[in-house]
Structure 1
């Protein structure tokens, strides 16, 4: 484990949120899409379930995607702004089968504030641990999805959104076969 368990969960949620709009896709078109995303990420708390809430999550997705590739200084700027805007106040909580972990907003805070604060706190751990190189973009030529490399040897190069790794390996194999023949 590279980070605390709740940090890894939050970072994976950030990746999944960013990648819900990667490669020209839009996986958060409707309230139902957002409901499914939040259920898959086991995200708790109150919801308004209106178009403004959905739009705020999509806006946040863009901000997080920018922070993902901004480098340390750019990420820190975004992290600090997200925490300030949400009036974050970290506190230990235990709920829904999770042991003690940090929340920095109340369960009734706006959805985008809760998501942004959780993401910002996880990204802050990445910065503080000097592990920004674990935040990457897929190396496939036709993919712009986020990659979170939690491998011990820091070798993850491709995203989990499709079959980018398989396509790259097949292409490399075919190139070797063509060069040999």
Structure 2
């Protein structure tokens, strides 16, 4: 494990959120029901308004978080600090549901986008402080722009988990090798 367990969970959730926007224009958070399903899968808790404004604010946050994958360290720090400042983050230890002690930096009543953004920002804080920003990657497949977090010990993860990019790349390489021989 590279980061604390709650940090790794948050980083995976950030990746999953960013990857709800298909670079080809497809929207995987098209409706409030899509947002409900996403939040259930990611096990987010706290208050909800269940309205179009909440959906729009999460989509806006998603776009902001996507910029982290192309950011320099200084740009990432600026974004993380802005998100924390805007949500008036106040880190505190909490224990709830099946989760052991972990950090929350907003109240359960804070707007959803603030809670999601703060959790993402706190996780990226650990990435930056550890000098591991290069672990935020874009899929190496030629036809994919999904993002990933490389949590492998040897920093070898190159393909996303949104499809079968790794398999397609390996099959393509195999066929090229066979054609060359």
Q: Please, what TM-score do these two structures have when normalized by structure 1?
A: 0.98
2:7 is matched with 7
1:153 is matched with 154
- Superposition misfits of 4+ residues, deviation over 4 angstroms: none
Residues 124-163 of structure 1 mapped to structure 2, 5 A cutoff:
124-163=125-164
Which structure 1 residue ranges, 5 or more long, are not aligned?
none
Q: 1:168 and 1:67 mapped to 2: Cα distance? A: 25
Cα deviation, residue 68, structure 1: 2.3
Root mean square deviation of aligned Cα:
0.7
Which string of whole-angstrom CA distances, capped at 9 and with x for unpartnered residues, describes residues 106-155 of structure 1?
00000000000000000000000001111100001111100110011110
1:17 is matched with 17
Residues 41-120 of structure 1 mapped to structure 2, 5 A cutoff:
41-120=42-121
Secondary structure of the corresponding residue to residue 130 of structure 1: coil
Secondary structure of the corresponding residue to residue 152 of structure 1: coil
Q: 2:68 and 2:153 mapped to 1: Cα distance? A: 23
Cα deviation, residue 22, structure 1: 3.0
Q: 1:41 and 1:174 mapped to 2: Cα distance? A: 38
Q: 2:166 and 2:22 mapped to 1: Cα distance? A: 16
Aligned length: 180
Which structure 2 residue ranges, 5 or more long, are not aligned?
none
Which string of whole-angstrom CA distances, capped at 9 and with x for unpartnered residues, describes residues 66-123 of structure 1?
0222121111110000000000000000001111100000000000000000000000
Q: 2:129 and 2:108 mapped to 1: Cα distance? A: 26
Q: Please, what TM-score do these two structures have when normalized by structure 2?
A: 0.98
